Amino acid sequence: MQGSSFRRSSVAGLPAGSGSAFPALLLVGLFFIVPVVALLLRSVTDPEPGLQNYATLFGSGTYVRVFLNTFLVASVVTAVTILVAYPVAWMLAIMPPAFGSIVFGIIILSMWTNLLTRTYAWMVLLQRTGVINRALMGLGIIHEPLPLINNLAGVTIGMVYIMLPFMILPLVGTLRAIDPMTLRAAALCGASPFEAFRRILLPLSLPGIAAGGLMVFVMSLGYFVTPALLGGTSNMMLAEMIAQTVQSLLNWGLGSAAAFVLLVVTMALYAIQLRLVGARRAGGGL
């Protein structure tokens, strides 16, 4: 991939010698390329050779709707995650290291807690008779329980919570690398804190936002448990639909086709974003 901005955060760089890269290539082939090719083959051979699975996929309003829902949910989740993660990451970046590691520990700990448990916990918190609605009603702020679950709001809250660490970690890395003197210089030149943020901090932290945002978006596209439990059927995501198609209807060809289309779209988005971020970085003249 041409994404120079990602090289820093990528897995330990391989030596340039082509011979020593062979085991890695073999692993990539085994664990990535073979399954994808098998998926593609299945989508055009099951139950019979041809493109009928793709015709069904694009011909049925249901799948198209579920595709669009999936991208809508992933976009909303990514946007909200960035908004929530940014101040947290900034706080972590400027905090004394001793405090920082405690906060880091808390964030990591939440990542290590079982996903299903955390999702069920949100279910209990968010429902009409849950703690949040009861508290708000008890305080007289609302009179009818807010619809926080089985809809887009529920999925967004649950998924943002789960995605936060994946956004915060790359952001902290980028923010820490920014010289605080640049902000002081901006202030000396008369910039208000907001101006300094908009014209200095935000552009400089864009690579971190892009890296985290892409990760969150791509992970959200394939998410299963949380949307299944906190969402409603009108914002059903593709993973759940594929699971039903494969497990219950035993229509593996159609399920494979849906999975393959999602993969292709995801990779296309990835390529576009890399190009955009790469270009902006070049234009920013770092």
Partner 1 sequence: MKLILTGLLAGLLAATAAKADEMAFTSWGGTTQEAQTKSWAAPFEASSGIKVLQDGPTDYGKLKAMVDAGNVTWDVVDVEMDFAIKAAKDGLLEPIDYAVVPKADLDPRFSNEHAVGSFYYSFVLAWNKGTVTGEPTGWADMFDTQKFPGKRTFYKWSAPGVIEIALLADGVPADKLYPLDLDRAFKKLDTIKSDIVWWGGGAESQQLIASGEAAFGQLWNGRVFALQQDGTDVGVAWNQNLTAADVLIVPKGAKNKDSAMKFLAAATSPTGQAKFAEASGYAPINTKAKAEMPADAVKALPDAHVEGQINLDMNYWAEHRDEIATRWYAWQTK
Interacting positions 159-218 with partner 1 (CB under 8 A) = none
Give me the least distance between CB of 77 and partner 1, in Å please: 19
d(CA 212, CA 6): 11
Give me the least distance between CB of 63 and partner 1, in Å please: 9
Give me the least distance between CB of 144 and partner 1, in Å please: 12
CA 175 vs CA 154, 161, 196, 213, 240: distances in Å: 30, 21, 14, 15, 36
Contacts of 121 (CB under 8 A, 6+ apart): none
CB 226, CB 155: distance < 8 Å: yes
Among candidate residues 228, 212, 216, the one with its CA nearest the CA of residue 119: 228
Among candidate residues 210, 256, 235, 245, the one with its CA nearest the CA of residue 74: 235
Among 234, 268, 276, 282, the residue binding partner 1 under the rule CB under 8 A is: 234
Give me the least distance between CB of 33 and partner 1, in Å please: 21
Nearer to partner 1 by Cβ, of 182 and 244: the residue is 244
CA 33 vs CA 24, 38, 40, 130: distances in Å: 13, 9, 11, 45
Give me the least distance between CB of 221 and partner 1, in Å please: 17
Nearer to partner 1 by Cβ, of 81 and 127: the residue is 127
d(CA 216, CA 75): 9
d(CA 87, CA 129): 31
If binding means CB under 8 A, how many residues of this protein chain bind partner 1?
27
Interacting positions 76-135 with partner 1 (CB under 8 A) = 123-124, 127-129
Among 2, 114, 117, 233, the residue binding partner 1 under the rule CB under 8 A is: 233
CB 47, CB 247: distance < 8 Å: no
Site string for partner 1, 23-62 (x = CB under 8 A): -------------------------------------xxx
Site string for partner 1, 235-254 (x = CB under 8 A): -x----x--x-xxxxxxx--
Give me the least distance between CB of 143 and partner 1, in Å please: 15
Nearer to partner 1 by Cβ, of 86 and 252: the residue is 252
Give the phi and the psi of residue 67 in degrees, each rounded to 5.
Answer: -60, -50
Residue ranges that bind partner 1, judged by CB under 8 A: 60-62, 65-66, 69, 123-124, 127-129, 150, 228-229, 232-234, 236, 241, 244, 246-252
